[in-house]
Amino acid sequence: MSKVTNEIAKFITDVQLCFVATVNEDGSPNLSPKGSLVAYENDTVLFANIASPATVENIKRNPAIEINVVDIFLRRGYRFRGTAEIMPEGTDEYSFVAEPMWKKNGDGYPVFNVVKVNVAKLEEVLSPAYTFGEGVTEESLRDDFAKKYADQIPSTNA
């Protein structure tokens, strides 16, 4: 699988949270959560650099990147592998990400630059429950995990 389809783009939008892995200078992994990932065009995804100086520095040194988007309730998602580049203000990619963020959060919301990821490999991520669980469906997993996580949400009533 190597095409970022409309279905995958919708999945990214629906899930909202993803994790981006880059390589630190010493070769160790850097994992950073992102809430701004969007499908762009062809086999490209974008995300905003809002508070990610280590991610940006790593990309400048080594453009290798992996992004994982997983729906915790459906226990499935996608893994994007490729190379990244930094897109500054004034580029189409920057505007594509920044303008909706500003519309939602206000003009003062920081978008320092945008990371463009050229996806070379795209794979589906599936929980072993789909392979080894008898009669497992998305609906049954969603219901089971919604109940599990609902029991773990702390009360806001003190």
Supply the pLDDT for residue 16.
92
Q: Which of 1-15, 31-45, 63-77, 109-123 has the lowest mean pLDDT?
A: 1-15
Region of 48 (left: φ > 0; alpha: ψ -120 to 50; beta: rest) is beta
> Pairing state of beta strands 38-39 and 18-23?
unpaired
Supply the pLDDT for residue 153.
65
In this structure, what token pair is assigned to residue 149?
């996580």
92-131 burial, b at 16+ Cβ within 10 Å, e below that, comes to ebbebbbeebeeeeeeeeebbbbbbbbbeebeeeebeeee
Residues near 124 by Cβ (< 8 Å), separated by ≥ 6?
1, 76, 77, 78, 79
Alpha-helical segments (H) within the chain: 6-15, 53-61, 92-105, 128-132, 138-150
Q: Each residue of 43-81: pLDDT tens digit?
A: 999 999 999 999 999 999 999 999 999 998 888 999 999
Class (C level, CATH) for 6-128: mainly beta
Which one is predicted more confidently, 68 or 138?
A: 68
pLDDT band of residue 14 (cuts 50, 70, 90) is: very high
Q: How many Å apart are CA 117 and CA 139, to the nearest integer?
A: 32
Supply the pLDDT for residue 1.
46
